[in-house]
Amino acid sequence: MNSEAVSALIAKTPSLKASKAKIESMEPGAYCVHRSWGFGQIKSYDEAAQRLLIDFKDKPGHPMDPVFCISTMDVLPSNHLLVRKETDNARIIELIAEDPAQLLVDALESYPNNAATAIEIEIVMAQVVGADKFKKWWTTARKAIAKDPRITIPEKKTECYIRRETPISAEDEILEQFQSTRSARRRIALAVDLLDTATKKDIKIELNEILQGVVDAVRDSNQINSSERLYGAAVRDDLAKFLGSEVEMKPTQASLIAEVRDLATIAGDIPVHFQRRYLDLINQTHPIESRDLIFNLLKISQGKFTTECINFLVEHDHSEELAAALKRWQTEQNLRAPVLLWIVKNRHSKKFAKLLNDLITPRLLSAIFFAIDYEALQAATTRRIPLADILSEDKDLIADLLSTADPETARDLANTLLLNQGFEELTKKSLLARFIKIFPKIQSLVAADAESKEEQLIVSRASHAIKRAEYENIVSKKIPENSKAIATAREHGDLKENSEYKMAKQDQQVLMAHKTNLERDLGRARITDFQEASKEQVSVGTIVEVKNTTSNQTTRYTILGVWDGVPEKNILSYKTPFGEALLGKKAGDIVTVKTGASEDDYKIISIQRYADTL
């Protein structure tokens, strides 16, 4: 906008004087970001209409009131990354690929005080790099950025990346952050970073201060949990060793795991890279009990810790005990998802062949299905289930597990698959195809399932709501309660003599069958208001008057949806024998209805629509 146009706007609305500089920046050729329309370029200004014409991605030549744009649009400086992507794209592409730290430096130089919040930077970088590639690129880029002495790294997304006027070394930055934080957790993490740097550089004098800070954090802080305290003690001892100190500091690592009841809690939170050291520490602190303790940890382990526990047991000559334990847990249905996942991933490993050979059976597939279903029922979100993923992705897994199965066992397992909550319908069909390839007769399951889906059930809206509420109660309340009951009962010991466990498992079978039936019926349900019913013949939604030809007694029946029957009020489901016998008949017809061993004839006297009586 030229000065005359700006003056005209301000003369018309004097309150715009405070925004004069921003209005003046809205000149043809300038790039901008609008709150609603995104990135664009101002092409011209229509003085007659007093409108800016802006080319947005999906709206070229879009007219906008400059007064409205004051609060909804920012004009970008020429060195802004989004502008440079348009004007110097080759250079931006080069920086994305080869020098992300320089790209961030360039980005910061376009902001006031060379500083921008982490949120602002990530939004811009995502636009520059591309939303589909950004996440993976940013993970790698941040590592390079963290090493650049020109950039201050924020601890939180609400804090700022800052372009330093004077670059400082990585270790000086860590020292600066260490001195400025009071968080014990943060101090331990920074000490790890500084120790990594110290192994390459001679900075032992500075490390003395760091060591004392970690000593205080481990000894005195109430901000950290038992896992963090143990890890902090290990970091403290590593620092002391690096500095040549031989003084034993309290609390010792051994004292922090002296109570065996705490081991599982600590294992759940320790860093991945500390897991093997943790197992070694248990072995040193509890030399007599260590094998049994690590078996207990394996049983409840997660992720990489499962692998660490198994490797530890194998390396300490406990392979035979491990094989026996895995078979026992399988029999007791105590094999949990992480251990199952490790078994199927390593089933072809030469190292573990002898250990796993007897486990690759149909029973293992049953355990896998149970674990997947359990995890799906416990999940509050739609997060991925790794066991379900590997069962789908590993094309040979089902064939391997069914190699010793008989047709009846395979059919039972296929039924279990169809009822499982951890798979989408398309995935179920894909997995079922692998069953059918080995046992072709299982194809009948698919045909029966498809046939059951073809027949629709006519239901009223009220009865559908009741059934839906019943289903939600089972899924959200009864099944989770049952799963907890099973888990609690399992902890009571020998499952063969555990009546609570057996009862909970029986309840589970009933609940799962009920849930499956409700899902099938709700999927087949067609809701109606009975307005389609006819007076010409008996149909769903009619009131029919009939006379028993033997007793001459006249009775009125209302024929409604499959879930609407109230026999004491003469309201019948159209699926009852009497209802089915009446359907399609007209006034004057004689209907024979068999009840038990007797047969009765009924003459239809009249027909009316149920909807007309409401």
Give the model confidence (pLDDT) of 543-588 as tens digits. 999 998 888 999 999 999 999 999 889 999 998 888 888 999 999 9
29-41 mean pLDDT:
91
Q: Are 461 and 527 in contact (CB under 8 A)?
A: yes
312-324 mean pLDDT:
94
pLDDT at 382 over 50: no
At 331, which helix (H) or strand (E)?
helix 319-331
Distances (CA, A) of 178 to 171, 200, 204: 10, 19, 16
Residue % of the chain over a pLDDT of 70: 93
User: Residue 545, SS3?
Assistant: strand
Looking at per-residue pLDDT, the higher value among 550 and 384 belongs to: 550
Looking at per-residue pLDDT, the higher value among 338 and 484 belongs to: 338
Radius of gyration of the chain (CA): 36
d(CA 357, CA 72): 66
d(CA 45, CA 56): 15
Residue 251: is the preceding peptide bond cis (ω within 30°)? yes
pLDDT at 48 over 90: no
Q: Say how many residues make up the chain.
A: 614
Name which of 129, 124, 86 is nearest 107 in CA terms: 124
pLDDT at 521 over 80: yes
**pLDDT (tens digit, 9 = 90+) per residue, 244-285?**
888 889 999 999 999 988 899 999 899 999 999 999 999 999
Confidence band of 4 (pLDDT split at 50, 70, 90) = confident
Residue % of the chain over a pLDDT of 90: 49
Cα four-point dihedral sign 419, 424, 430, 431 = negative
DSSP 174: H
The pLDDT mean for the chain works out to: 87
Spell 473-506 as b/e; 16+ CB within 10 A means b.
ebbeebbeebbebbeebbeeeeeeebeebeebbe
For the chain, report the end-to-end CA distance as a whole number of angstroms: 69
Which range is most confident: 250-254, 407-411, 465-469, 474-478?
250-254
pLDDT recorded at residue 447: 58
Domains recognised in the chain with CATH numbers: 3-75 (2.30.30), 81-163 (1.10.10.10), 172-321 (no CATH), 393-525 (no CATH), 542-613 (3.10.50.30)
User: Residue 150, SS3?
Assistant: coil
At 606, which helix (H) or strand (E)?
strand 598-609
pLDDT at 495 over 60: no
Q: Please give the model's pTM, rounded to 2 decimal places.
A: 0.56
pLDDT recorded at residue 379: 59
pLDDT recorded at residue 448: 57
**Where on the phi/psi map is residue 579: left (φ > 0), alpha (ψ -120 to 50), or beta?**
alpha
pLDDT recorded at residue 308: 96
pLDDT at 502 over 80: no
pLDDT at 378 over 80: no
pLDDT at 381 over 50: no
Q: Are 501 and 483 in contact (CB under 8 A)?
A: no
Of 95-99, 238-242, 413-417, 488-492, which range is least confident?
488-492
Distances (CA, A) of 296 to 260, 261, 304, 352, 438: 11, 11, 16, 20, 38
Cα four-point dihedral sign 325, 342, 383, 449 = negative
pLDDT recorded at residue 380: 47
At 42, which helix (H) or strand (E)?
strand 38-46
d(CA 378, CA 444): 32
Looking at per-residue pLDDT, the higher value among 179 and 364 belongs to: 364
pLDDT at 450 over 80: no
pLDDT at 498 over 80: no
Cα four-point dihedral sign 387, 336, 414, 511 = negative
pLDDT at 449 over 70: no
Of 169-178, 328-337, 516-525, which range is least confident?
169-178
Strands lying side by side in the sheet with 160-163: 115-117, 160-163, 151-152
Confidence band of 204 (pLDDT split at 50, 70, 90) = low
Identity of the amino acid at 269: D
Q: Residue 161 forms beta bridges with which residues?
A: 116
pLDDT recorded at residue 107: 94
Confidence band of 383 (pLDDT split at 50, 70, 90) = low
Residue 15: CB atoms within 10 A of its CB come to 8
Of 65-74, 269-278, 500-509, which range is least confident?
500-509
pLDDT recorded at residue 322: 94
Q: Are 267 and 305 in contact (CB under 8 A)?
A: yes
Distance of CA 370 to the CA centre of its chain: 19
